[in-house]
Amino acid sequence: MEKTKKILYSAVQPTNNLTIGNYLGAIKNWVALQDEYDCFYAIANMHAITVRQNPAELRQKTLALLALYIACGVDPEKCTLYLQSHVPCHAELAWVLNTFTYVGEMERMTQFKDKSSKHADNINMGLMDYPVLMAADILLYQADVVPVGIDQRQHLEITRDIANRFNNIYSPTFTVPEAVYQKVGAKINDLQEPLKKMSKSGENPNGAIFMTDDRDTILRKFKRAVTDSEMLVKYDPENKPGVSNLLSIYSVFSEKTIQQAEADFEGKGYGDFKLAVGEVVADKLAPIQAEQARLLADKKYLDSVLLKGGEAAYKAARRTLSKVYKKIGFYQL
């Protein structure tokens, strides 16, 4: 039964606060996929340290993220939920894959170039090697599919290149993964600059709703959201990006169609409209936040999840790594 399911791999870094855009794009997706696939979900703390982190904060954010994912419905009984640093095979395979990856390829990576200019004082080897570690993550589990945001496209392509390169030099060893890019549909934009994607690192903190925002903050941010001077609640992304973005948010959070959402605000002003959008978002987040807080107070449970996940992940990863070591000629006992 288990064996017939395809293997899915995804990971998220325990840095920054997640926005409702991340919730709709990534977290809900993880939940939706956990029945159909044999899922490995990792918290990528080894990737996180390619940018300097505060140790206490990194530890705290790791547990907070784990608790958030579980609170949102990621079920540790259905999928393998684990912490990357708990499975040493990631670092081990990354080392081997380094010898199948060219410096020039890594220098050309868009994200490496972006991050190098943002962190010019710390262009460390790990930052450059980031895509190889990511390839190791995915290939260790023989993943068939990897759901990621479009910003990860180059990383998935290099993963496929590295897998093919290794398979061609030796014999088929790694499954060559397919990337599944998130459907647009529920794309959420910045509340202050509605032509830009809502991002955790946007310039104006009022532009993004974070998963940790309390009710008052949520209502205030929506109240200040940029609209237009027309006083008409109508979906028209080209001419009315602010209002359309708010309608999209309302629609996904209330599980209504855009037409139903428009109908809810016919003849109403922007003040009522923004308040209603804020309320539906706040109502949805409140129980998630409460559950996250409850889980965070139960460290024993969270540790047990990581222990069980780490053991299961290790078993799968070790199998692949042993194959690799055999093929490249590492003498094994």
Contact 191, 224 (CB under 8 A): yes
Report the residue number, 44 or 277, with the smaller CB distance to ligand TRP.
44
Q: Report the helix count and the strand count for the chain, using DSSP H and E.
A: 14, 5
In the residue annotation, 78 being an active-site residue is answered as no
Selected binder of ligand TRP within 138, 191, 225, 285 (CB under 6 A): 138
Quote the CA–CA distance of 83 and 85 in Å, as a whole number: 6
Smallest distance, Å, CB 46 to ligand TRP?
8
User: Site map for ligand TRP, 86-125, x if CB under 6 A?
Assistant: ----------------------------------------
Q: Can you tell me which of 70, 72, 140, 148 binds ligand TRP, judged by CB under 6 A? A: 148
Choices 145-153, 194-202, 238-246, 325-333; region in contact with ligand TRP by CB under 6 A: 145-153
Contact pattern from residue 37 through residue 66 relative to ligand TRP, giving x for each residue in contact according to CB under 6 A and a dash for the rest: -------x--x-------------------
Q: Rounded to whole angstroms, what are the CA distances from 237 to 41, 42, 202, 256, 304?
A: 34, 35, 20, 18, 46
Does residue number 79 form part of the binding site for ligand TRP (CB under 6 A)?
A: no
What gap in Å lies between CA 224 and CA 244, rounded to an integer? 15
Q: What is the DSSP letter of 230?
A: S
Q: b vs e for 14-37, b when ≥16 Cβ sit within 10 Å of the residue's Cβ? A: bbebbbbbbbbbbbbbbbebbeeb
Catalytic pick among 28, 78, 187, 197: 197
Set 28, 187, 200, 327: catalytic member: 200
Q: Is residue 13 near ligand TRP by the rule CB under 6 A?
A: yes
In the annotation, is 299 catalytic?
no
Based on CB atoms, which residue is closest to ligand TRP, 148 or 281? 148
Span between the terminal Cα atoms of the chain, in Å:
33
**Active site residues per annotation:** 115, 197, 200
Residues at the site binding ligand TRP, with contacts judged by CB under 6 A: 9-13, 44, 47, 134, 137-138, 146, 148, 152
